[in-house]
Chain A
Amino acid sequence: MIDIAGILMSNMSYLILITLGGALISWSVHFVPVGGAPAAMAQATGIGTGTVQLAAGAGLTGLVTAGAMMQVTDNMALIIASGAVGAMIMISVTMMVGALVYTYGVGCPPASAKVKYDPITKDRQDLYVSQGTEGHGLPTVSFVSGVIGGALGGFGGAVIYYSLMSIENGLPLVDLVGIASVFAVGIFFVNSVIPSYNIGGTIEGFHDPKFKRFPKAVISSLIATFVCAILAVLSIGGL
């Protein structure tokens, strides 16, 4: 018989860390400038793909780098930082190449339709929005917001992976890595999906009015991740 209360009590700190990691991912998704299908037709500012897809792509790349780092060190801060850096690299490369396509493939300059002036560069935005669109490309503010989102997502994913790997269990290392990584990927997806209800297809970054809705998603994620964390801790701790 598995001592459910005992496993949960002895891993309480990891349970809390996993839950906080999930909430961090949920918050991070709001920073990622995604324009969904309209952005693929240069009809909206941001990257031309879905929220979940890009956040997961960046965060999971961070998970790969965090996993590699955890193989050689047990320094928690270093593992988490490397997860954040992996995700930042993926999202910045994607946004930069996306900017190349918008500029040289489609022929339109980056412009935001949500603000008149870019909060970072102070560049005028509305004059550069082409007719019948809600902006296009990635102005500097969206790019920086995306980098922050990638960093937080990678950070959250790495915290979850580190916590799952640290749960007391009787598994051989190779099996522990397998089950911990699958749980980490699963929890990542849960927390990428929840904010998409807030975002509703498009968001330009932290300067977008929709960004202010993030507390609802973060609270929902805290609840959802807590349930996932209990399952993960019991599954891994009980083996």
Chain B
Amino acid sequence: MEPLTGMGVLALMGAAATIAGASEDLESDIGSQSNPNSQVQLAPQMMYPHRIYSKAISGEPPSNALMCAIGGTVASVLISINTSAILALVIGSIIAAAIHGTYSVTAYFGRSASQKRFKQPVYLDLIRSHTPVIIGYSFITTFCILVVSYLMVTVMAHPFSLPLLAFIWGIAVGAIGSSTGDVHYGAERQFQNVEYGSGLNAANSGNIVRKAESGLRNGIDNSWFCAKFGGPVTGLAFGMTVFLSGWITALFDPSKGDSIGWVSVIAGVIIVLSLILWNRSIEVAARAAYGTYKEDEVDVEVAA
């Protein structure tokens, strides 16, 4: 393949992956899936009943992998009977999103109903208002992942099948969303009632914010907040993963010889080293800006 064409396709894949990452995180924030769900489930038990959509279908990676694998399988079958690729990807994504929506509703009913003894209400209007948004976001995620996988199979000639690539990228987007954007929801948005700038004190576990800017807080309020930072950075992370892992071989094409292949490996290692240095600079800047939480005992003794 021409290097310029390869870079163009890779840019398109990176853009689709960025959108997939952002929509994946916002979808999980609306439904309060993944790790922050532990606090949403704990809240009623600590006598804090809430109006937040609680759908822990499973961890984010398996749930996204299921969605994407269903979408990829449906799309593959449709493409094999000569359906247009775009139509096949759209239909695959619609079916996957609808199945995800079904799981969301059953998960919400199950989680909330099982907490009846803690006086946690089941809000039927939450189902009506939140589920279509969850389905919408999961459609965007699945469609973008399928676009990435389809481009890899058809243009980049990747040997893996479309459903398998969709499955693997589904696992990856879930792992990234769960590791990055969810922290913004779990550590900041859920606990805006405590002072900014620290981790959650174990004593405050379950005491999540239940009042919104107007009325009672719900999942869509959380998504609104996380769309300002958590969602976009998740998109950035997944976009960078897809783009950088392909970029090194697009630039240094290993099909032209093993020596160029080794250059691509070295380029990858240089990227990783620069990320280590970037993380170190963030660490130094954060420590300088925020300071310590407690004083050194030696300093305290000297001052006394």
Contact = CB atoms under 8 A, between A and B. Distances in A.
Interface of A: 36-37, 39-43, 47-50, 53-54, 56-58, 60-61, 63-65, 67-73, 75, 78, 81-82, 85-86, 88-90, 92-110, 121, 123-124, 127-133, 135-140, 143-144, 147, 173-174, 177-178, 181-182, 185
A105 B59 contact: no
A132 B179 contact: no
Contacts of A85: 248, 264-265, 268-269, 272
29 contacts: A36-B35, A42-B187, A48-B183, A49-B61, A53-B60, A53-B175, A53-B178, A61-B168, A61-B241, A64-B165, A65-B245, A65-B249, A68-B156, A73-B261, A85-B248, A89-B272, A95-B179, A99-B282, A100-B282, A102-B187, A103-B285, A106-B184, A107-B197, A109-B287, A110-B283, A128-B293, A132-B201, A140-B276, A185-B167
Interface of B: 34-36, 38-39, 59-62, 152, 156-161, 164-165, 167-169, 171-172, 174-176, 178-184, 186-188, 190-191, 196-205, 229-230, 233-234, 236-237, 240-241, 244-245, 248-249, 254-255, 258, 261-262, 264-265, 268-269, 271-272, 275-276, 278-280, 282-283, 285-287, 290, 292-296
Contact of A178 (B164, B191, B255): B164
B262 A132 contact: no
A78 B276 contact: no
Contact of A57 (B172, B182, B269): B172
B174 A43 contact: no
A70 B255 CA distance: 10
Contact of A69 (B38, B187, B249, B272): B249
B179 A54 contact: yes
By DSSP majority rule, is chain B's interface helix, strand, loop, or mixed?
helix
B186 A48 contact: yes
**7 closest cross-chain pairs (CB), A and B:** A57-B175, A132-B201, A42-B199, A40-B35, A85-B268, A130-B198, A107-B197
Nearest to A45: B199
B287 to A, nearest CB: 5
Given A65-B245, A105-B229, 5 more contacts: A41-B35, A82-B254, A90-B245, A106-B187, A139-B283
Contacts of B241: 61, 89-90, 93-94
A188 to B, nearest CB: 10
Contacts of B286: 103, 108-110, 137
B271 A89 contact: yes
A97 B264 contact: no
Contacts of A69: 249, 254, 261
A70 B157 CA distance: 12
A180 B160 CA distance: 10
A94 B271 CA distance: 13
Contact of A127 (B183, B196, B262, B292): B292
Contacts of A92: 271-272, 275-276
Best-surrounded residue of B164, B236, B262 (most CB of chain A within 10 A): B164
B137 to A, nearest CB: 19
Given A90-B245, A147-B276, A181 B261 contact: no
